Structure 1
Amino acid sequence: MRRARLLAVLAGAVLLGGCATVPEDSQPVAVQQQELGQIANPDVQQPPRDIDPLTVARDFVEASAQPVSNNAAARTYLDDGAAKAWQPGKVMNVIDDQFNTVYAAGTALPVNPMEVVVLVRATTIGTLGADSSFIPSRTPYELRLLVRKQPDGQWRVTNPPANIVMPYSAFTANYVRVPVYFFAQDSNTIVPDLRYVAGKPQLGLAGRVVSLLLSGPSDQLVGAVRSPLPEDAGIEGNVTPTPDGALMVPLTGVADQTPEVKKLIAAQIVLSLQAVTTNRVRLLSDGNALVDGHEDWLPSDVPSYTALASPGADQPGLMVVNGRVRSLADASAVQGPAGQGAYQVVSAAQSIDGRQLAIVELAEGRQQLRIGAFGAAAQPVNLFGGTLTRPTWRPTATADGTAGEVWTVVDGSSVVRVLRTSDGGWTGQAVNAEEVLTVGQISVLRLSRDGARAAMVVNGQLLVASVVRTQDSVTLRSPRILQTGTLTGVVDVDWLSQDSLVAATTMPSQPVVKVPIDGLRMDTFNSSNLTPPVYAITAAPGRPIVVADAGGLWTASDVGEVWRPHPHSLGSRVSPFYPG
């Protein structure tokens, strides 16, 4: 199997907690693929002499984040036997920077005066999985370390844990986030898969990223994306720089692929490597150019594979005001019944290409879905409920295709995808959302514009799940709560980019936040000028973020910006939305 043939990409890992403080906006740093045995053993600094057991435990945790030379820095805090025998697992726990090391008390303590038990107490914020993806989770953590005084008088840990635990700041200082790219299931839209690779040594970073590509998508995205790389694809030798300044990727097992598939493979590799190198990428297949006539590649040589996932410049966005749909550009009512008051519009969604409109209308005391061409009458769909979440469109598979799938959630508990029928009508099909519903009721659901994920608000929490499609079913799989315990009171969410979200909350201290799809960090927008609570938000690639509060609409483009009044807010209770 492909995984068995890959070189190891990350040093193993071990459970532990430590004390460190690093700025919240610090970013991980980068590395390369190599077997641990191939990494040159640098001069490892020995621990200071005569440090007490609590400091030994704390420093061991900090040093555990350094994977170089098989965690050589951490092994200096172990006694000789443990240093030789320690085999960290591939899963790593990331803990909050604020943690405690205390001496254990009570019974079952060592009788040997040369031994003490140190407790490492912390809060886990997530784990780095064996697939090199970050999985958020906030849980209490405790580790018991037996620390023994050695014949030379120095205290050393004797029982290192099976899986490394490191503070958040140590993790971000030693690991770099790399978007590894795959493709949507039924289109040539690229989908980023956030992964983390060790930051030192620098040599081997590109090879490590290629290894992640060859090993396939992360566990969460299995079934939600596809890879043009065949199962038997591999690397002949190493990914190495050439004397003329290119980065050579010598592929094997891809020579029999069609020219179209080879171009997708080239795009996948070049776009994934752009996060770790600025060199030209020389793509070879069994010694020859992977793509005939095109041996060296830069990111600018790759055609756009995001066009179907981005609203066009001619789509300025819309808003619902007093039951009517209006343009965000000039506040004019849109053409057709949706803009002229024929429907009592509660919420709406425009397809990414702008050609269709789905609306939720209030009629006879209940909410109903309607779908139609933009500017024309919208036909009613046989879908009713006490509440329907704002609709969200699945992207088309081709540029000349017509969007034919809309999602909504009925009464917080029934996720429905509404499909276009052969006669031009619409029919609903249930989406398997059992894993999400174990968390609670769904109040917001937004499909990513590449169709591979869904962002949701569930009981005031922000969740992301993958959209897995089979021939006869669609499932929301592997939901993950982002920033558990830190981000609460979420009322709305939208996709800022393919790998980041913006959310509106009821929290006065952080009314608008930005969160990556793996939930590793959270950035709070400037709250100046906003009048909490913020109740609606919309975003899209290359567009200003628009939020709605008690005073109307406000816009900003980045976290540090002061919110500016939108020129067409039209008072309170305005719900803005970009296509998607």
Structure 2
Amino acid sequence: MKRVLLAVLCLLLVAGCANVPLESQPVVVSGERQGQGQNAEAPEPEQGIDSLTLVREFIRATLKPGQNNAAARAYLDDQGRANWRPSRSLTIIQDTFGTVYDTEPQPDPNTQVVNVRGIDIGTLDQNSSFVPDYSSALLHVKVRKQQNGQWRIVDPPTDLYATEADFSENYTAVPVSFYSESSNAFVPDRRYVVAKPQSGLPGRVMDLLVDGPSTSLAGTVKNLLGEPVEIDTNVKSLDDGTLVVPLTGLTGVGENIRNLIAAQIVLSLQYVTSARIRILADGAPLVPNHPDWRLNELPAYGASLSLSLDLPGLMTVGGRVRSLGDGAPVPGPVGNGGYDVVSAAQSTDGKRLAVVDRTGGQVHLRIGDLGRDLPLVSLAGSTLSRPTWRPGASEVWTVADQLTVARMVLTPNGQWTPLTVNATDLTQQGGISELRFSRDGARVAAVIAGQLWVASVVGGTGDSIALREPRHLQPHDLQNVVDVDWLSQDTLVAVTTSTSQPVVKVTVDGQRMDAFNSSNLTPPVHGVTAAPSRQIVVADASGLWIASVLGEVWRPQTHSAKDADPFYPG
């Protein structure tokens, strides 16, 4: 009987152990804000703190590490801790904010209302993208003294609030890439993910890719990883350091799309890992015979958008167009005084020019081959903004009389034909004095009433193009803007009439702005041109100046001329 009982006990132990995995991978909490997950313990607030300090410390605790906002939840009463379900939206306020008692008397002496006063600088929306704002943040928080004599919050806000410093410390910016069919290039979609634990960053970035582009790029780029594609299991690192990205739902997808998906993943993950990336589809290599990827193995998507070293850029001086490279006039009437040139733009391949020409009391648009006569096109007005080329050499945009975004398209028979742009979302913000295409064609930057805006370009051909999702960048700190250009796909350089910050660099979402050194510049600065891997050229009251990075002292451009306006192709 003892032997029988011992045998039964062993069988039960073995059966129980069969439900325990021999090895388990750590679960990546992908894409979650600090308000998600299971309850977790956190230290109680300091004993005896007053209600004003309690509310301040509650906001300071919003982004502290821990599941389910455990650190902030510790400042709530028992009912609040159990029931608080904050939204995924995060409001970011300036570091300096105030807490004051509400002037409305409370019937219960053990209950108080604390008002939080500060400046709302933006919101991290449910797509994990930053939406700029500048408005007064006023939050009412009710607190109540508990039976143990400690103050606790009894009506926590629905949205999360955090200071700018805490946000910068706890989140990292990642330009997630999405494919643009119109330009055969990948467009960065700037998003923000929780920085710690660092090992989980690739998983959080992959979740953003699968979820698709943010609202600002919806309709502009293609989501190659949309349904039915999904992440099969956790994104994980192997012992040899290889990062494994396991996908599913790709049955029947052709090799061309698979290569684009691989590029999209590698381009996006480059900001959070330097490891070799193994991309799988249902357990097999996503691209046959190419299981592992590194950044330098990708095809040169968007190579046609890069500027040739043979194109040094141009400038308009005294109604003529000259080379930035040697200062010589360009061939043809644009360089020899045949036209009174107000502004100009060179196509990205360098072969064509679009010129705003002054004749009498009006300005007209001319487009044609560099070095030849430029025919007039059917567009004129009291003012035309400096032209800007859409990727390629067959479409030019300008703004007529600051209100109408005009678009000229080269037809197969060689004629430049006007087509419409639905720019109502942008023009209703005010008069547009400058408009610049990003070199991937996904966005435009605009100067509107001295302020900087960005909008997405939705639609491809015909009359279906629209400018959507206008975003006002740095609405409080960036004023009196006079010109703008694209330093990279997601970074702008703007110049202003300000003496304190005449040249600034701004992220495409407006989350960050940095001022360039103002040494050697003679305000006002009135023009700028920039491009990837090129020196930034600005024009001030004395001529042209060049610099490459923040903090660098501006140096005279070799062929500088007073009243010159520089421009790179694009």
- TM-score, normalised via structure 2 length: 0.93
Q: Helix, strand or coil for the counterpart of 2:384? A: coil
1:548 has 2:548 as partner: no
User: Which of residues 63, 66, 88 is equivalent to 1:65?
Assistant: 63
Q: Could you tell me how far 1:67 is from its partner in structure 2?
A: 6.0
1:404 has 2:405 as partner: no
User: Which of residues 486, 497, 503 is equivalent to 1:495?
Assistant: 486
Q: Helix, strand or coil for the counterpart of 1:225? A: coil
Rounded Cα–Cα distance in structure 2 between residues aligned with 1:535 and 1:521: 22
Query: Structure 1 vs Structure 2: percent identity of aligned residues?
Result: 52
Rounded Cα–Cα distance in structure 2 between residues aligned with 1:528 and 1:432: 42
Q: Could you tell me how far 1:97 is from its partner in structure 2?
A: 1.2
Q: Which moved more, 1:380-389 or 1:48-57?
A: 48-57
Q: Helix, strand or coil for the counterpart of 2:86? A: coil
Q: Could you tell me how far 1:301 is from its partner in structure 2?
A: 1.5
Q: Could you tell me which amino acid in structure 1 is paired with residue 37 of structure 2?
A: L
Question: Does the aligned pair in 1 maintain the 2:34–2:66 contact within 8 Å?
Answer: no
Q: Helix, strand or coil for the counterpart of 2:216? A: helix
Rounded Cα–Cα distance in structure 1 between residues aligned with 2:161 and 2:355: 48
User: Which of residues 504, 507, 516 is equivalent to 2:507?
Assistant: 516
1:215 corresponds in structure 2 to: 211
After TM superposition, list the pairs within 5 Å mapping 1:309-348 onto structure 2.
309-348=305-344
1:372 corresponds in structure 2 to: 368
Rounded Cα–Cα distance in structure 2 between residues aligned with 1:379 and 1:554: 33
Rounded Cα–Cα distance in structure 2 between residues aligned with 1:515 and 1:104: 38
Q: Could you tell me how far 1:552 is from its partner in structure 2?
A: 0.4
Aligned residues: 542
User: Which of residues 300, 306, 320 is equivalent to 2:302?
Assistant: 306
1:474 corresponds in structure 2 to: 465
2:496 corresponds in structure 1 to: 505
2:79 corresponds in structure 1 to: 81
Question: Does the aligned pair in 1 maintain the 2:183–2:441 contact within 8 Å?
Answer: no
Q: Which structure would you say has the larger Rg?
A: 2
Question: Does the aligned pair in 1 maintain the 2:183–2:302 contact within 8 Å?
Answer: no
After TM superposition, list the pairs within 5 Å mapping 1:389-468 onto structure 2.
389-396=385-392, 403-468=393-458
Q: Could you tell me how far 1:245 is from its partner in structure 2?
A: 1.2
2:31 corresponds in structure 1 to: 9
Deviations 1:441-468 (A, max 9, x none): 0000001000000000000000000000
Q: Could you tell me which amino acid in structure 1 is paired with residue 157 of structure 2?
A: P
1:569 corresponds in structure 2 to: 560
Deviations 1:232-289 (A, max 9, x none): 1001111111122111100101232111111110000011011111111110011001
Q: Could you tell me how far 1:573 is from its partner in structure 2?
A: 1.1
Q: Could you tell me how far 1:10 is from its partner in structure 2?
A: 2.3
Q: Could you tell me which amino acid in structure 2 is paired with residue 441 of structure 1?
A: G
Q: Helix, strand or coil for the counterpart of 1:74? A: helix
2:183 corresponds in structure 1 to: 187
1:55 has 2:45 as partner: no
Question: Does the aligned pair in 2 maintain the 1:7–1:211 contact within 8 Å?
Answer: no
1:382 has 2:383 as partner: no
Q: Could you tell me how far 1:481 is from its partner in structure 2?
A: 0.5
After TM superposition, list the pairs within 5 Å mapping 1:27-38 onto structure 2.
36-37=37-38
Q: Could you tell me how far 1:303 is from its partner in structure 2?
A: 2.1
Question: Does the aligned pair in 1 maintain the 2:495–2:527 contact within 8 Å?
Answer: yes
Query: Larger relative contact order (C-alpha < 8 A, sep ≥ 6)?
Result: 1
Q: Could you tell me how far 1:136 is from its partner in structure 2?
A: 0.3
Rounded Cα–Cα distance in structure 1 between residues aligned with 2:280 and 2:251: 9
Q: Could you tell me how far 1:12 is from its partner in structure 2?
A: 5.8
Identify if the C-alpha distance between structure 1 residues 558 and 477 changes in structure 2 by more than 3 Å, giving closer, same or farther: same
Rounded Cα–Cα distance in structure 1 between residues aligned with 2:359 and 2:29: 61
Structure 1: tracts of 5 or more residues without a match: 1-5, 14-34, 397-402
Q: Could you tell me how far 1:45 is from its partner in structure 2?
A: 3.3
1:485 corresponds in structure 2 to: 476
1:25 corresponds in structure 2 to: none
Q: Helix, strand or coil for the counterpart of 1:192? A: strand
Q: Could you tell me how far 1:148 is from its partner in structure 2?
A: 1.4
1:174 has 2:170 as partner: yes
Q: Could you tell me how far 1:157 is from its partner in structure 2?
A: 1.0
2:529 corresponds in structure 1 to: 538
Q: Helix, strand or coil for the counterpart of 2:143? A: strand
Question: Does the aligned pair in 2 maintain the 1:185–1:224 contact within 8 Å?
Answer: no
Rounded Cα–Cα distance in structure 2 between residues aligned with 1:175 and 1:44: 21
Structure 2: tracts of 5 or more residues without a match: 1-27
Question: Does the aligned pair in 1 maintain the 2:34–2:63 contact within 8 Å?
Answer: no
Rounded Cα–Cα distance in structure 2 between residues aligned with 1:242 and 1:528: 51
Rounded Cα–Cα distance in structure 2 between residues aligned with 1:215 and 1:285: 18
Q: Could you tell me how far 1:203 is from its partner in structure 2?
A: 3.5
Deviations 1:270-320 (A, max 9, x none): 110111111111100110011111111111111222312221111110000
Q: Could you tell me which amino acid in structure 1 is paired with residue 176 of structure 2?
A: V
Q: Helix, strand or coil for the counterpart of 2:70? A: helix
Q: Could you tell me how far 1:435 is from its partner in structure 2?
A: 1.1
User: Which of residues 91, 95, 103 is equivalent to 2:93?
Assistant: 95
1:104 has 2:102 as partner: yes
